[in-house]
Amino acid sequence: MKAAAVDRFGPPSALTLHDVPVPTPGPNEVLIAIESAGIGSWDASIRDGSWRKPGRAHFPLVPGVDGAGIVVAAGARVRRIRRGDRVYAYEFGNPQGGFYAEFAVAQAPHVGRVPRRLGTREAGAVATTGLTALQGIDALGLRSGQTVLIFGASGAVGTMAVQFAAQRGAHVIATASGARATRLVRSLGAHRVIDARRTESIDQLRKYAPDGLDALLALAGGDELERCLDFMRPRGRVAYPNGVEPVPTKRRTYSVRAFDAEASPRAFEKLNRHLANRKTRVPIAASYPLGRAAQAHRRLEREHTLGRMVFRIR
């Protein structure tokens, strides 16, 4: 099969098209004919070796932690997922390779059926980002009427988090820079938008959240985030996915919680209920063939994309 892989850790140019064996599913795994695969910053950390499992890396190494397609084979112990099912999956660090390929294997609990209304391209983009966004909103215990700041709202996770927070009935304030990003997050349900790069814009939080912020989902770190944290209410809640650097500063007046996105049948069912909403969108910034994987990764490192980039494989 064709796969975008690296023979050594390195820059985007290390990612080239390879012919590699089709992986074999184990007893608890399914083999998926991949139609669309997500492209994320975590893939770059796999490509350059900054994230790696303990032990020796096996090359060629195929990145990619999520994708969508059709199940073509299932292990002997798999019951919930069947051959022919249209699925999307989230699998981090599979030793047989990731989703930058024509076929990939995933543990059956890390696979969900794609909601009927969701297109293949969107399904390939949303497993990691949707699970991360939804579990971040859950970690905040967000309720209707509360005020939440989504810090980093125009990115792949942020665009989903804005929608999930709005669907909870929260008053959503989003950070975004530039006219296009501002229009996007407003269209997704943000009630207010600030540009965190500008101190005077952050100061508008005094007007937009006069009683302070009940919750904050931090999808990026740094000085701008720290200034926003000054507006947290006493006993407010801050959550961030592991990997955000620098991490939000802990203070006695509010709680801070780190989390990892987790895939499970229950998690996918919950995500599917949100994705089945006809108003929910999965913003796609760009689509590339596998043969242009290096170009996609150069763009990933060069600029902030609005929404998520994907590979189209079939």
Question: How distant is the alpha carbon of residue 298 from its chain centre?
Answer: 19
Long-range contacts: 270-276, Cβ < 8 Å, 24+?
270/134, 271/112, 271/126, 271/130, 271/131, 271/134, 272/112, 272/113, 272/115, 274/130, 274/134, 274/163, 274/164, 274/167, 275/115, 275/117, 275/118, 275/126, 275/130, 276/115, 276/116, 276/117
Tokens of 134: 């939804």
Task: Measure the CA–CA gap between 61 and 3, rounded to whole angstroms.
Answer: 9
CATH number where 9 lies:
3.90.180.10
- The tens-digit pLDDT sequence of the chain (314 residues) is 999 999 999 999 999 999 999 999 999 999 999 999 999 999 999 999 988 766 677 899 999 999 999 999 999 999 999 999 999 999 988 889 999 999 999 999 999 999 999 999 999 999 999 999 999 999 999 999 999 999 999 999 999 999 999 999 999 999 999 999 999 999 999 999 999 999 999 999 999 999 999 999 999 999 999 999 999 999 999 999 999 999 999 999 999 999 999 999 999 999 999 999 989 999 999 999 999 999 999 999 998 999 999 999 99
Q: In terms of Cα–Cα distance, which of 246, 272, 242 is closest to 259?
A: 242
Same domain as 111, residue 7: yes
Same domain as 220, residue 198: yes
Is residue 266 in a domain?
no
Q: Which domain holds residue 253?
A: 129-259
Same domain as 86, residue 177: no
Same domain as 181, residue 140: yes
Q: How many domains does the chain contain in total?
A: 2
Is residue 124 in a domain?
no
Same domain as 213, residue 291: no
Identify the pLDDT of residue 77: 97
Task: Measure the CA–CA gap between 73 and 82, rounded to whole angstroms.
Answer: 8
Please name the amino acid found at residue 50. S
Same domain as 245, residue 133: yes
Same domain as 255, residue 134: yes
Identify the pLDDT of residue 56: 72
Prior bond to 246 cis, omega within 30?
yes
pLDDT mean across residues, the chain: 96
The string of pLDDT tens digits covering residues 4-60 is: 999 999 999 999 999 999 999 999 999 999 999 999 999 999 999 988 766 677 899
Same domain as 237, residue 186: yes
Same domain as 163, residue 75: no
Is residue 265 in a domain?
no
- φ/ψ region of 97 (left if φ > 0, alpha if ψ in -120 to 50, else beta) reads left
Identify the pLDDT of residue 53: 67
Is residue 225 in a domain?
yes
Identify the pLDDT of residue 91: 95
CATH number where 161 lies:
3.40.50.720
Same domain as 293, residue 255: no
Is residue 80 in a domain?
yes
Task: Measure the CA–CA gap between 173 and 214, rounded to whole angstroms.
Answer: 11
Is residue 100 in a domain?
yes
Is residue 176 in a domain?
yes
Same domain as 111, residue 56: yes
Task: Measure the CA–CA gap between 61 and 80, rounded to whole angstroms.
Answer: 29
Same domain as 242, residue 146: yes
The string of pLDDT tens digits covering residues 44-68 is: 999 999 887 666 778 999 999 999 9
Is residue 277 in a domain?
no
Tokens of 299: 């763009």
